[in-house]
Amino acid sequence: MTKEEVFGLTIQDYDAHETQRMERNAWRITRQLAGRIDKAPVLSDFISGIASENTDDMFFFIENYLSQYISKSKNL
């Protein structure tokens, strides 16, 4: 955003933009962390790093199925 756009934001617009920015950063860090620990050796075994998908991007839209999907780990 340009300086003019930033100065033209209302408080509500700024709060919405800031919330979206923090969420994008949190998902980026989650993916980086999952990638760093994936296949790392842990006590004679290996750990898997998996980042869940954003609920807006998931296939399931029924809460019951969505909860089941999130709770299951992927078979590697």
Quick one: average pLDDT of 20-37?
89
Q: What are phi and psi of 45, to 5 degrees?
A: -145, -175
End-to-end CA distance of the chain: 41
pTM of the predicted protein model: 0.56
pLDDT of residue 75: 45
Q: Which residues contact 49 (CB under 8 A, 6 or more apart)?
A: 33, 34, 35, 36, 37, 38, 39, 40
Q: For the chain, what are the domain ranges? A: 3-71
**Distance between CA 23 and CA 28 in Å, rounded?**
9
73 pLDDT higher than 70: no
